[in-house]
Amino acid sequence: MSSLGTVGGGYGYAVMESFWSTMRTELLDRQEWKTRTELASEIVRDLEIFHSRQRRHPKVGYLTPVESERLRELQQAA
């Protein structure tokens, strides 16, 4: 597996470690899961609905991705 950072750099896996830390805190550790399939479905739902549509991102002015896309479309139309 290749690293995201440079050789000897400290940032190689920091992004994914941060992601999984947040996932564990917000989703995985909040309840016991009966099956792996149930957990996998919840992870997909969480990523698709919350992270991809509702979570506010600093890179786009603390807008949700949906709001950011709408704003970009309106700016391109103008």
Give the integer Cα–Cα distance in Å for 53 and 66.
6
What's the pLDDT score for residue 11? 65
Note whether 3 and 16 are within 8 A (CB). no
What's the pLDDT score for residue 37? 94
Domain boundaries, the chain: 31-77
What's the pLDDT score for residue 74? 92
Contacts of 9 by beta carbon, 8 Å cutoff, 6+ apart: 3
pLDDT tens track, the chain, 78 positions: 455 556 666 666 777 788 888 888 888 888 888 999 998 898 888 888 877 777 787 887 888 888 888 899 999 988
What's the pLDDT score for residue 6? 62
What's the pLDDT score for residue 7? 61
Contacts of 4 by beta carbon, 8 Å cutoff, 6+ apart: 11, 12, 13, 14, 15, 16
